[in-house]
Structure formats: C-alpha cells, structure tokens
Amino acid sequence: MPGESRIDPALRHFLTLRDLAPGELDDLLELGHRLSEGEVPPRPLEGRSVALVFQKSSTRTRVSFEVGVHRLGGKGIFLSDRDSQIGRGEPLSDTARVLSTYVDGIMIRTFGHDKLEELARHSRVPVMNGLTDRFHPCQLLADLLTLRQNFGASALPGLRVAWFGDGNNMANSWLLAAGLLGFELRLAVPEGYDPDGEALAWAGERTRIVLTRDPEEAAEEVHVLTTDVWASMGQEEEAAQREADFASFQVNERLAERARDDHIFLHCLPAHRGEEVTAQVMDGPHSRIFQEAENRLHAQMALMIHLFRTADG
C-alpha cells in the first residue's frame, strides 16, 4: 500500500500522511491553527533533542523544524551529508541505531522513500519525513492548514483542488490528503509524468480523483490551484526536457480565470517565476504562498506535540 509504514506499531513515525490515526489529522490541523493564532505551545521536548538530517538543500523545512523544536523546549541538531558520515556512505540503518541512543526524534530529508523506511525500521525514536522523492507530508500539513484557514474546517471535504505539472512527491502527497479528507483532486499532468500508481489507486478508492492532460479542464471552478517546480531536487539534468514537456501546464492568469472567484493559489516553494507559475499569479491577490510557508512552523509544531506526547504514553 502506498505510504504504509513497516515499523514497530508501538513507535510513532510520520513517514506519510497515512501514519496519522483517523481523526488525528483534524486534531492536528486544529492545534496548528490555534498555534498560528498565538496559543502558547506545551514543551514536550524539554531537555530533549531532535536530529535534523538533510541529504538535500532546504530553507523552510530546516528553519521551521529548528525553530519548532526550540519552541517546544528541545534542541535541534542539524546534520548534512557534507559534514556527517552519512555523506561518506555510512548506512542509514547504522546511523538510525546510533542516533537513537542520543536523540529523542529524527527528521530526515532524503532521496528514495525506501531510505526513509530503512531509517525508521532501525530507529528507536520517532522519525519524521522532511521530504523524499515520493512524499512530502510535512508540506501537506501546512497546505491543509492553509486551506482550513481560508475556507473553514468544515469546508475541506467539499473542496476541489487542481494540481498542475509533475506527478511528483507533492502530487503524491496531495493524493493521500484527498483520500484522507475526501476532497476532489484534479491532476493535470503531461504523459510520462503521472503520479505514483499506488497512491493514485488508494486515493481513487476514497474520493473523486481526475487525471487529465488538459489543464483548462482541471482548473474549471476549483477552489485551489497548486503546482511545483518542473525539475525537483535530484532531477537537475532533466531540466531542459522537462521545461519543454511542462510548458503548457504553467499556472498563469488565463488559467486562473477558470477557477472560482474565491480560489487560492498554493506553492510549496521554492518557485521559479515564469516557469511553472507566472509572477502575476505568485504575487497576485489569490496567492497564499507566504501564509502556506509560515504554516510549516505551526503544523510541524502540532505534529511534534502529537508524536512526542504519544511517545511518552
């Protein structure tokens, strides 16, 4: 099954959105919302540490996790490939076993989703997915919180969301979110770039999923327009080919005119203005990209409060 954890069930990990218990996603978004409004968080990480492992670049994920861990009373320890033994080939299984003896949680951004699962299998502390090639669940927590703030909590199942471009880690995560919450998801993706087949099938059994090659059809009367870079981290050499293949999937004002008048535009960032989205849309009145980015902090704090409270029993 897509995103299914193969881990000790007594230990809470967050490898995909499906690791949240039924109802927990709603609770977590509610808590994230209250934190965004200034509620003082508890300090479940008092005297504890969380390793923040990055095998790819990051601005938002790194800083929001470091700040979030700090606000919850703990210490974040940043590790990159460049200055840890992971970059010199030490297996993630050994790394997980060693880190588990020092820290109380591990966040990792890596390439293959199997690498994340390997780390989680060998970890004795909660592992959080800070992005893999297959899923980016922390980003979706922030995106869903942004939807909640703009449309209201009860409106979420009735929304129509349109995704444009690559069937990548973000598209796959949107599929799991749609399956969990029941909103309609339309994916306008060129041939050859379809999302993960298992995630597509899983979500398709639970809600209305439309996969189309026609961006205009996808945009019709939707509440949300969203996209991502055409070449993700690790795909830099394919950039020219992708630019050609995705050219007609750009989110621009002409496309946005088809959406509802009260639609919002989301992008996980970083973005390339003039490629997957125009500057007019990015910086226009419907854009919520900076609210979305801020929500990374609130949503991840809510996540850690849930994980570390549960880890305490």
- 260 is a catalytic site residue: no
CA dist., res. 166 & res. 187, Å (int)? 9
Q: Does 232 bind ligand NVA (CB under 6 A)?
A: yes
Please select the residue that binds ligand CP; options are 4, 59, 244, 309, rule is CB under 6 A.
59
Of residues 175 and 209, the one with the C-beta less far from ligand CP: 175
Please select the residue that binds ligand CP; options are 33, 48, 60, 160, rule is CB under 6 A.
60
Q: What is the torsional sign of CA 138, 96, 304, 14?
A: positive
Burial grade of 189 (CB within 10 A; 0-12, 13-18, 19 or more)? buried
- 228 is a catalytic site residue: yes
Please identify which of the residues 143, 166, 196, 228 carries the catalytic annotation: 228
Query: Taking CB under 6 A as the rule, which mask of x and - marks residues 16-55 in contact with ligand CP?
Result: ----------------------------------------
Q: Which amino acid is at 154?
A: S
Q: Does 242 bind ligand CP (CB under 6 A)?
A: no
CA dist., res. 145 & res. 209, Å (int)? 21
- 109 is a catalytic site residue: yes
Please identify which of the residues 134, 223, 296, 298 carries the catalytic annotation: 296
Please identify which of the residues 139, 149, 250, 300 carries the catalytic annotation: 139
> Which H or E run contains 76?
strand 75-80
- Going along 170-313, which residue ranges are E strands? 184-188, 209-212, 224-227, 264-267
- 272 is a catalytic site residue: no
Q: Which amino acid is at 44?
A: P
The set of catalytic residues is: 109, 136, 139, 228, 268, 296
Residues near ligand CP (CB under 6 A) are 58-61, 131, 139, 268-269
